[in-house]
Structure 1
């Protein structure tokens, strides 16, 4: 094996160059996506917005990400990750600039809604890295991409308040937010010039249709339609959060219109899936080219429990520590940040374990750890030593983020030409999980909240027993009709 073929983490050539450019691109998407979070107090004071409107900005920030991940996954499979990632970074700098110059709540809300599209960047790199790394390194590479890139949100929390102070007075937050847009714009151009979709001589396989995931059996088509319903249910939940029954931002009439619109969109989406796949009823797919959509459905549920719980817990953990142990907001925030810091090693670790010891066994082990970890978090109370509570949170974080790495160690091994779409759906389920868990938290206490997550992880563990370990090869067809076999184990 030549030096160019080996996995050399600190190399910047060949496949390692692609890995480093990819995680930096993902890092910037999260840096931009959460550029408002550490500056909320300054933003609220500058724009004279209420506490309810601040909460609305937080909801709006994630609203577009769920459908965006589906759309971006389709575009990635069709047009290639180089083009789609570059365009995403460039175009999402524009709402970033709009947010920086907003003069009132409505302008800020529109800009934050559009910025949510950048949260879909994650799925692009999943497809890109799967083109460059062999199956026995894929989990490690995807884990590094996800773990190091995901740290962009924590980097924003640490750096942007300081930048705002350095850059100037009452408008410091505007300059800090605008600077993140400059980073996004600049790196989009760099990415376009430095990246190729595949190694030289390799084929980039594209789906036959744009608009819905292709499936290869009748049962899988109905399962695909079933898995679409939670996507629209989560969006309906977001509408409810903005409706007169909750945040009182939307009017009754507009809320009803949005509910009806989501029902219509769900119907049209399922209809599109039928049109793309209806030929399987008259022309069955050769077993050689079939894949099992149940693999995708299982990974969706696992990512719901892993990444969904991570997003939810990161949002509430500082308040949990502050209220449980009577800590100042600053100390509570510092302790809670340990949960996010685990991403740097845990997610790559989950991918590495999958490469070495098998995808399904590692997922089973990590999901079991998730069940126990959140059960322990539900037991934490003011009688616990503070250090032990922090250790429990970090241990739980290890299983959560390692589980995320293990999930995306499997995603690229299902069907190469559909990797973007599969990653998009699985990634969207992570956001659905976050919306669901945070909604649960609004009705229950912290202990019940953690028990609910533990319970859904247990459901994921049981369902995981039906997942098939990737074995042998998957097949793709060249334009000339010849077949290529791609090793997955």
Structure 2
């Protein structure tokens, strides 16, 4: 594949360019996937009441929502290497729309949990997005392109807090009961995902030169003829597993922290639920620029110091992320805590962007497989962190209930809130320390002299 057809700049208004067309369509598709993946979150109070979910079932639904994505991301990377991003995204959007629609029809807690698990598969869209932009943009800009498309897609995970209630308000205006509006909203989101799959099929192509099927048939894609070996090559590369840990420590922690932050802010600083929810939304909306900054600086350090420069920047921003979270966990004043939370949000999203400014340079013959493994790391991190926080919180709350037994209901509730706050704070501190350790591990990523020369303009082509 010739590198000449790849875009060397992110000119967002050059809509005649195939890479830019692909950038926009894949960003919008990714946005819709994340919008649908976490679309149920704003409606959880209604779901709990409607289906009679227990606290354990509510926690389990959060864990299941990120569990299915692990398997999907591992699989989809391999499929991208073999069949190309166009077909993979088309099928993911159309099949992924099914559980999104079905969750609007559930009648029991078990059906709800199954649907949340299956909806998690749509989170594999991240891998396809990164794969597609990686093969559409040249080395000098690929980090920025990857980070921007991913950041704007991640925005869907926060935009649903505004978008879903608006959809609900729309269906209520047609006479639907408020308690049933969440069902129609999820069905609507699922239908949009299905239609987006058709858009992806008809308006994108796999590479700047054409689709995988035609290019393989003509022999114009020799570097992808050995895609059967690509996944095993990725599995055996230690750098892939370090990046797996790095993404667990960045995206995984963003998912977990934002998923638990509403309750933490209410329990610790006595904020109203709406206020806490709006603050968390504002942090999620930072994806529109923060993740791009990570990719941008990854590219800049790459220009200055080569591939090693990308790794150094990744380690630095990851260290800052860990320190910000650990410091936030001990803050007792809301203003101080808010400042460190902003710094954490900025640094964690930049770390995500910086991670995928390194990924395309590990092995150009297995970009999809590597993206899949690294992407899965984010969800493994989210799963393990959620288990940690759930276990610490559950134990602390039970002890608080036992200690305050016989007291008034509001006293017991306050004791539970305080116990949960302390438990989650200690969990955040532990996570922050682990993130810093991961940053040190990231420094062990090495590149050969041949790898370094391959990204010099005018030298060997690269992903």
**TM-score tier after normalising by the smaller chain length:** 0.7 to 0.9
Q: Alpha-carbon deviations, 1:151-174, whole Å to 9, x = none?
A: 111111111123213302132111
Aligned position for 1:175 = 184
Aligned position for 2:430 = 452
Aligned position for 1:367 = 318
Q: TM-score, normalised by structure 2?
A: 0.82
Aligned position for 2:374 = 426
Tell me the distance in 2 between the aligned counterparts of 1:6 and 1:140: 9
Aligned position for 2:327 = 376
Tell me the distance in 2 between the aligned counterparts of 1:98 and 1:371: 38
Aligned position for 1:10 = 13
Aligned position for 1:395 = 343
Aligned position for 1:357 = 301
State which of 82, 87, 111 in structure 2 corresponds to 1:78: 82
**1:116 to partner: Cα distance:** 1.5
Tell me the distance in 2 between the aligned counterparts of 1:77 and 1:302: 23
Aligned position for 2:358 = 410
Tell me the distance in 2 between the aligned counterparts of 1:207 and 1:454: 42
Aligned position for 1:471 = 452
Aligned position for 1:481 = none
Aligned position for 2:101 = 97
Matched, 1:305 2:249: yes
Tell me the distance in 1 between the aligned counterparts of 2:30 and 2:298: 22
**Are the counterparts in 2 of residues 367 and 399 from structure 1 also a CA contact under 8 Å?**
yes
**1:6 to partner: Cα distance:** 4.0
Matched, 1:208 2:159: no
Tell me the distance in 1 between the aligned counterparts of 2:346 and 2:182: 33
State which of 180, 185, 190 in structure 1 corresponds to 2:194: 185
Could you say what secondary structure the match of 1:118 adopts?
helix
Matched, 1:441 2:389: yes
**1:298 to partner: Cα distance:** 1.6
Alignment RMSD: 2.3
Tell me the distance in 1 between the aligned counterparts of 2:262 and 2:161: 13
Q: Alpha-carbon deviations, 1:297-347, whole Å to 9, x = none?
A: 221111111111101100111112111111111112222223212211110
Q: Alpha-carbon deviations, 1:211-270, whole Å to 9, x = none?
A: 97232xxxx97xx4xxxxxxxxxxxxxxxxxxxxxxxxxxxxxxxxxxxxxxxxxxxxxx
Q: TM-score, normalised by structure 1?
A: 0.77
Count matched residues.
Answer: 402
Cα 1:51–1:465 shift into 2, 3 Å: closer
**Are the counterparts in 2 of residues 310 and 400 from structure 1 also a CA contact under 8 Å?**
yes
State which of 249, 263, 276 in structure 2 corresponds to 1:332: 276
**Are the counterparts in 2 of residues 335 and 390 from structure 1 also a CA contact under 8 Å?**
no
Tell me the distance in 2 between the aligned counterparts of 1:140 and 1:65: 24
Q: Alpha-carbon deviations, 1:390-441, whole Å to 9, x = none?
A: 1210111111110000000111111122111111111111111111112222
Tell me the distance in 2 between the aligned counterparts of 1:406 and 1:120: 19
Could you say what secondary structure the match of 2:141 adopts?
helix
**Bigger helix fraction:** 2
Q: Alpha-carbon deviations, 1:419-470, whole Å to 9, x = none?
A: 1111111111111111111222234423321221222122212212211255
**Are the counterparts in 1 of residues 8 and 141 from structure 2 also a CA contact under 8 Å?**
no
Tell me the distance in 2 between the aligned counterparts of 1:374 and 1:61: 24
Aligned position for 1:267 = none
**1:130 to partner: Cα distance:** 1.1
Q: Within 5 A, what are the aligned runs for 1:57-76?
A: 57-76=61-80
Could you say what secondary structure the match of 2:232 adopts?
coil
**Are the counterparts in 2 of residues 207 and 418 from structure 1 also a CA contact under 8 Å?**
no
Tell me the distance in 2 between the aligned counterparts of 1:70 and 1:403: 21
Tell me the distance in 1 between the aligned counterparts of 2:427 and 2:452: 38
Matched, 1:109 2:133: no
**1:102 to partner: Cα distance:** 1.6
**Are the counterparts in 2 of residues 321 and 336 from structure 1 also a CA contact under 8 Å?**
no
Aligned position for 1:261 = none
Could you say what secondary structure the match of 1:380 adopts?
coil
